[in-house]
Amino acid sequence: MMKKSICLYFQVHQPTRLRLYRFFDIGKDSHYYDDFANRTIMRRVAQKCYLPMNALLLDIIKRHKGEFKVAFSISGSALEQFDRYAPEVIDSFRKLADTGSVEFLCETYYHSLASLASPAEFKHQVLKHRDAMKQYFGVMPKVFRNTELIYSNEIGGEVYDLGFKAMLTEGAKHILGWKSPDFIYYDPAQPKLNILLRNYSLSDDIAFRFSDKTWPDWPLTGEKYLSWIKSAVSKGDIVNLFMDYETFGEHQNAASGIFDFMRYFPEVVLKDGLMEFVTPSQAVRKLKPVDLLDVPQTISWADEERDVTAWLGNELQQDAFSKLYGLMEKLSIINDPVLWSDFGHLQESDHFYYMCTKFFSDGEVHKYFNPYDTPYEAFINYMNVLSDFIIRTDAAYSDLDAKFVSDKKDAAKATSSGRVAEKKKKPAVKKSTVRPVKTTASKAVKTKKK
């Protein structure tokens, strides 16, 4: 009999936090980021989580000679911060990559919501992230995970077109109905795109409940956890445990015993011998999809609702979102790397998450991740930054316009005097072919609202 599978996947991300940006700064100071906070937090999380956990995983992989496997996706924003503030973390990930037991997945470079705004921008960020994975770890990702496990049939189609064979998303109850998340499914429009679903109950046992002493099942042990997995998988093929990597040492601190648990758990599984660890790629090679999964409406792994309302649920978020993506056309024409980079960082989903006004229901989790006291402050700060960014974009655009006009005059002179006109095309057309313009931001927001 074929062994049943456990698939561990960890999300590594750090947002590029914005500094306190008052309206006095608009038009005067275009440095948007809180370098101090970003560095401090990155250093702290590196010490508490990334470095010790990477070392631990490396140790387990070596000890079990490749029988233990995990998958990661590391956002581009996190990579940039590693480079800047904790380069030793990159080295430790490289060591993991070299074992061959670790798969790196692809995601949007800026951990963005581009999949809800613009197919063109989405594609750009996916490719940018794929290149980064190649550059940093020498691997070519085959499996995709979208920001916050956001998924719909439409996004599935786009992901398939970008050459991915599988995608991760949430085993959301309202989508699954009676179905179990512990199988592989396929997308109805793209039958070749396999879908792996997070088993949220078992994943959250580690990610949220592990150190909760009021939890009846506290403390969680390897044996206990394995028995739950086995009973879950008795009617399924695979248990997908997807969670934030910061769970280990940061959300659940070292004193909770999370590291001991993670050291011990693989041993328990492998000794038991009835289950095996797989990476997402191996899972889709090994297992056949059992059924199609129709997801007409966008889902994610956030909050009780498992939808995108944590980022685009209120008017403030929608306004900021559509203002931001409204700049796509001009930015494509300007095609300036500095503006592109700021545009990317401003797209990070975290900025929208901070503006969430679901104060009460999921307030606890939101508060934990939120540097702002209120969603209003988050919105005001973001909009002040965005206002400056819009001013810069408009200025660059009108500069270009002026240049285009003068170029045309020159060209006109040139044609009248000789020829050469062909050579000096207007930059707008040439540049826009680099990144096609198709802004569907406003449309996407509308469909989200229903």
By CB under 8 A, name the binding residues for another protein.
22-24, 26, 314-316, 318-320, 357, 359, 373-374, 376, 379-380, 383-384, 387
Taking the complex as a whole, the smallest distance from the CB of residue 373 to another protein amounts, in Å, to: 8
Residue placing its CB nearer to another protein in the complex, 280 or 313? 313
Task: Please list, in sequence order, all residues whose beta carbon lies within 8 angstroms of the beta carbon of residue 337, skipping any fewer than 6 positions away.
Answer: none
Query: From the DSSP assignment, how many helices (H) and strands (E) are in the chain?
Result: 20, 12
Nearest distance from C-beta of residue 320 to another protein, angstroms: 8
- Residue 108 CB, nearest distance to another protein (Å)? 25
Least distance (Å) between residue 375 CB and another protein: 9
Cβ-based nearer residue to another protein, 194 or 381: 381
* Catalytic center residues: 148
CA neighbor of 344 nearest in space, from 162, 150, 121, 146: 121
Please calculate the CA angle 37-242-366 and round it to the nearest 5 degrees: 40
* 319 vs 329 by CB, closer to another protein: 319
Q: How far is the CB of 112 from another protein (least distance, A)?
A: 20
Q: Looking up tokens 């078992």, which residue turns up?
A: 202
Q: Between residues 136 and 325, which has the closer beta carbon with respect to another protein?
A: 325
Give the C-alpha separation, 244 to 256, whole Å.
17
Which tokens go with 204?
């959250």
- CA distances to 204, 205, 253, 310, 339 from 212, rounded to whole Å, are 11, 10, 11, 24, 44
Strands 4-12 and 275-278: parallel
Residue identified by tokens 């900025």 is 351
Q: Would you say 281 or 381 has its CB closer to another protein?
A: 381
Rg, the chain, Cα only: 23
CA nearest to 254, candidates 52, 14, 39, 24: 52
CB of 75 or CB of 384, closer to another protein = 384
Dmax over CA atoms of the chain, in Å, equals 87
Task: State the nearest-atom distance from the C-beta of 122 to another protein, in Å.
Answer: 24
Structure tokens at 107: 């995601």
CB of 118 to another protein, least distance (A): 20
Q: Write the CB contacts of 144 (distance below 8 Å, at least 6 apart in sequence).
A: 105, 106, 107, 126, 159, 162, 164, 166, 167, 168
Q: Note whether 251 and 207 are within 8 A (CB).
A: yes
Shortest Cβ distance from residue 28 to another protein (Å)?
10
Identify each DSSP E strand in 32-107 by its residue range: 70-74, 102-104
414-415-417-420 Cα dihedral, nearest 10 degrees? 60
Partners of residue 252 on adjacent β-strands:
248
Q: Which of 220, 231, 217 is nearest to 274 (CA)?
A: 231
Nearer to another protein, 343 or 379 (CB): 379
C-beta of 78 vs 378, nearer to another protein: 378
